[in-house]
Amino acid sequence: MPQAAANPRTLRSDILFAFILALACYVAWLIRDVLVLLYVSALFAVVLSPLVRFTAGLHIRRWQPFKGSAILILILTAAAALIAFCFLAFPPVIRDLQSFSGEAPTRVPQLLAKIKNIPFADRLNVAQLSAQLQSFGSQAASYLLTTIGDWAGKLFDVIMGFILTVYFMLEGEGAYRWFLSFFPPSSRDRLDKTLRHAELRMGRWLLGQGSLMLILGIVSTIVYLSLGLRYPFALGVLTGAMNLIPVIGAAISIGLAIVVAAIDSWGRVLGVAIFYVVYLEVENSLLIPRIMNRTVHLPGLAILVALLIGSGLEGIVGAMVSVPTAVLVAVLVDEYLVNKQPA
């Protein structure tokens, strides 16, 4: 009889739990964009935490920065680097654009003559091509005007992500302890050690990604100098920095370098294209698997699969956080599904 009396209570509690779980899943689906923003911000805070600790550990005579000062120093350093890049890179580009606009009546016929020298280009209707380019320009302008609201929303998300990342770095330890309090004490220590280990490996991802960016920036600058491109140092810095964004960053870098090379000669365009084809092949097959494998201890196949899944789910943002997320998943799987004993 007691067992039979307990069954209705168990059934009611199971129904209530299933209802609450379904409601929670529905609410999470409605606010999935906010949850993604919170997750990305928290992940970047974890990835940047070793850099914050390193800055906070510096000694300047008798003064040592605390965590808030270290974060402020990093923000000011990044802002100063961005301002210096804009100050050094933009003036030559503006001068060349002003010069090109003044010489446009004579440069455009020369450009059309160069196009006619390309094989099979004599079959092109130059007038029709010019009309199509003008139509494309007007359509692009109207598209930018109609999507200005979407761009404003993306900019707001970026600003909020930056603010949340700073708050997570400042107050993340308290939020982390609050998260651990939901688990029973018997499993809390094991989960804490596992997540600390994942944090260490995710922090190493920044070292690996920085190495890839540095290699690409130096190599591309050398190639641009050897090809005689305009603005080689600015293009090299931008190429290395854009490597932080998988796939899309490389595409933007290729487009900018080819446009700059096309101003002078088609031979330089061909040189830039050959360089990028060779480098992307070397990076995807050699540099990314080896550097990331040594820093985050993941197989090259796992890294490539993580990049594909992340870009497929959340585009650029998903690709940027795919490798640290793969590290977190790998550590949890290794601890709770592979290992039989606590770490």
Residue 10: what pLDDT?
75
Name the token pair of 217. 């920036």
**Per-residue pLDDT tens over the stretch 176-188:** 888 888 888 888 8
| Rounded percentage of the chain residues whose pLDDT exceeds 90 | 0
Torsion of CA 175, 324, 159, 147, to 10 degrees: -140
**Per-residue pLDDT tens over the stretch 247-286:** 677 778 888 888 888 877 788 888 888 888 888 888 777 7
**Per-residue pLDDT tens over the stretch 299-327:** 767 777 887 888 778 777 788 888 888 88
Mean pLDDT of the chain: 77
The pLDDT of residue 14 is above 70: yes
Residue 310: what pLDDT?
83
Residue 135: what pLDDT?
58
**Per-residue pLDDT tens over the stretch 279-301:** 888 877 777 777 777 777 777 67
Beta bridge partners of 60: 63
Residue 1: what pLDDT?
44
The pLDDT of residue 6 is above 70: no
The pLDDT of residue 114 is above 80: no
Q: Please tell me what DSSP assigns to residue 71.
A: H
**Per-residue pLDDT tens over the stretch 191-241:** 888 888 888 888 788 788 888 888 888 988 899 888 888 888 888 888 888
pTM: predicted TM-score of the whole model, two decimal places:
0.69
Residue 228: count other Cβ atoms within 10 Å of its Cβ.
13
Residue 283: what pLDDT?
78
CA distances to 19, 91, 252, 278, 287 from 235, rounded to whole Å, are 56, 14, 11, 18, 21
The pLDDT of residue 108 is above 80: no
**Per-residue pLDDT tens over the stretch 140-152:** 556 555 666 666 7
d(CA 235, CA 90): 11
**Per-residue pLDDT tens over the stretch 16-27:** 888 888 888 888
d(CA 339, CA 343): 8
Residue 245: count other Cβ atoms within 10 Å of its Cβ.
17
Domains of the chain, by residue range, sit at: 32-182, 183-343
Mean pLDDT of 40-51: 84
Residue 283: count other Cβ atoms within 10 Å of its Cβ.
18
Residue 103: what pLDDT?
60
**Per-residue pLDDT tens over the stretch 51-60:** 888 777 777 7
* Residue 341 binned pLDDT confidence (cut-offs 50, 70, 90): low
d(CA 94, CA 90): 6
Name the token pair of 28. 């999470």
* CB 203, CB 44: distance < 8 Å: no
Mean pLDDT of 322-338: 84
d(CA 77, CA 231): 23
